[in-house]
Every structure is written in C-alpha cells, then in structure tokens.
Amino acid sequence: MELIINGSLRELEAENLAEVVGLLGLTGKPVAAEADGQIVSSEEWKQMAVRPGMRIELVHFVGGG
C-alpha cells in the first residue's frame, strides 16, 4: 500500500507500524514514530494498524556531537 513516510510517498506491504519500521531497517534503533500527527510509543507499534495514505514520521535519533 502507499504510505507517506517522512513526507515521501512509499509503496510498502505492512500491516502495522512495527512492520513498517522493520522494512525500513530501523528495528532496535533509537527511533520515535508519529502516525497522522500522533506520537506512538514503541510498545504500541505492533497494535498500530497502518492504512493506505497514512502519514508516518519516523525520527531516527542522532547520537553524535
């Protein structure tokens, strides 16, 4: 399905937010997620169903400095 991830249209086959994070290779990384403007904590990613057109923001925390 088509999802809008970090502002770009992406074609991904995923049932829930945890799968989206996995497909992007971010599982286990320091990532915060927002779905349609609402922050979703990592324990809830599995229960968070995704649907076509959903706006997902994945913020990968930066550790350098």
Partner 1 sequence: MLFAPIGEQGQRILMNRSVLIVGMGALGTVLANHMVRSGIGRVRMVDRDYVEPSNLQRQMLFDEEDAEQGLPKVIAARNKLARINSSVELEAVFTDATPENIAGLLEGVDLVLDGTDNFETRFLLNDACFREGVPFLYGGAVSSRGMTALFIPGQTPCLRCLIQSADSGGQTCDTIGVISPIVDIVASYQAAEALKFLVGAADKRRSSLLTLDIWNNQYYEMKLGRAKDSCPCCGLRQYPALERKADDLLSLCGRESVQVSGHEPFDLDIWSGRLAPAVKSVKLNPYLLRAELSEGERLVLFADGRVLVQGTSDIIRAKTLYARYIGS
Site residues (vs partner 1, CB under 8 A)? 6-7, 28-32, 34, 37-39, 41-43, 57, 59, 61-65
Instruction: Return the number of the residue (19 or 57) whose C-beta is nearest partner 1.
Output: 57
Fill in the amino acid letter for 41. S
Min dist CB 6 to partner 1, Å, is 7
Radius of gyration of the chain (CA): 11
Min dist CB 48 to partner 1, Å, is 15
